[in-house]
Amino acid sequence: MRLLASTLLLLCAACSKPQAPPLTGEAFYQEIGPDGATILLKERPVRIVPTSSSTADIILALVGTERLAGLPETVRSYSYEVELNGLPDGLPIFNNYNGESLLALSPDLIVGHIYQDLGTTMVLRQAGVPVYSMRYPKSVEDIIADVESLSALLGERERGDALAQDLRSRRDTLRADLRRSKLRVMTYTNLGSGVWTAGAGSSVDILIKLAGMQNAGAEGDRDMDYQIDTEALVVLDPDIILVAGSVSGLTPSLNFLREDKALSGLKAVRNEHIIVLPSSLFSCNSQHLLTAAEQLRDAVEALPVAQK
């Protein structure tokens, strides 16, 4: 019985957490990725392809553009690193996450997300291309951990450690400021087919809380992005409404909000407490979520005094 109990304990311990296999020969990197797949790199990657704006943000902060093989089209509107520094010259741009487009770039590492098409991920891996699939972050600590994990994957631990240290310092500064703790913020997204907002567990929820405020969209146990009607908006009546800025010169959400007479009585509309964040920050999942929180904090501080 003792032998059986010991064996069961060992089996439970072995099953509780995947263990990285030992390094194979002279492998540069070998670990189990966030999706449970083993990532094996024989050499330091020099043809890296991020497949989303958020992965591009982190990678562009860790490596030079000479180590990239391509970027997704979405970085034009949704990467804050690209907004700050411009689109790198000469890099191919791809439109879709599919095997043909990505294999044509001859990558030696692809960094994507678990929510992207699994069939494409499998095609890439079967073709011998390592794919590191990241999970959706649930906290700012998850984002900092992503920075550290990617810095190890890319062979840029020094840069990664410096960036992570900076992010922790900025996080602590934001959390220490409690002046806005009673304010309720709600996102408003309307592209012409109804209003959407963000609940608990979303990147915007992390952003609002990090900026020291409450997410009104999370009230009533609402989570992630969901559609909301006018009546529910009026009942929630947030202090501040947060919308995304211009994409291709258009700000549809802001326009719809201001033109909707049914919402003209909302406190946020009446007091002109509507904040516009750049589209590259509105719902980012990268290190620039802290940039978004800082900009939201500063924008709230600059708002006109609320009417009584």
CATH number at residue 116: 3.40.50.1980
Residue 38 three-state SS: strand
Residues 202 and 166 in one domain: no
Q: Is 258 among the domain residues?
A: yes
* Pair (160, 26) in one structural domain: yes
- Give Cα 136 to chain centroid, integer Å: 7
198 and 279 both lie in a single domain:
yes
Domain shared by 195 and 137, yes or no: no
Whether residue 153 contacts residue 132, with contact meaning beta carbons closer than 8 Å, is answered with yes
Using the predicted structure, report yes or no on whether residue 306 has a pLDDT greater than 50: yes
Structure tokens at 218: 């999370």
Specify burial of residue 134 (Cβ count, 10 A radius: 0-12, 13-18, 19+): buried
Same domain for 194 and 287, yes or no, is yes
Range of the domain at 292: 179-301
Which amino acid, 2?
R
Q: Is 141 in the same domain as 241?
A: no
Confidence (pTM): 0.86
* pLDDT average, residue stretch 127-144: 95
Stretch 261-271: mean pLDDT: 92
Inter-residue contact 75 to 97 (CB < 8 Å): no
Angstrom CA distances, 188 to 3, 39, 80, 185, 234, stand at 60, 39, 21, 10, 13
Based on the fold, state whether residues 194 and 258 are members of the same structural domain: yes
For 173-225, the pLDDT digits (tens) are: 999 999 999 999 999 998 888 899 999 999 999 999 999 999 999 998 898 99
Among candidate residues 121, 154, 113, the one with its CA nearest the CA of residue 31: 154
Q: Which of residues 109, 138, 170 is at a domain's end?
A: 170
- Assigned domain for 7 exists: no
Query: Which amino acid belongs to residue 60?
Result: L
Please check whether residue 128 lies inside any domain of the structure: yes
- Report whether pLDDT(6) > 50: no
Tell me whether residue 12 is in a domain.
no
Instruction: For residue 222, give every residue at least 6 positions away whose Cβ sits within 8 Å of its Cβ, in sequence order, or none.
Output: 199, 200
Confidence bin at 24 (pLDDT 50/70/90):
low
* CA-based torsion, 43, 49, 54, 58: positive or negative: positive
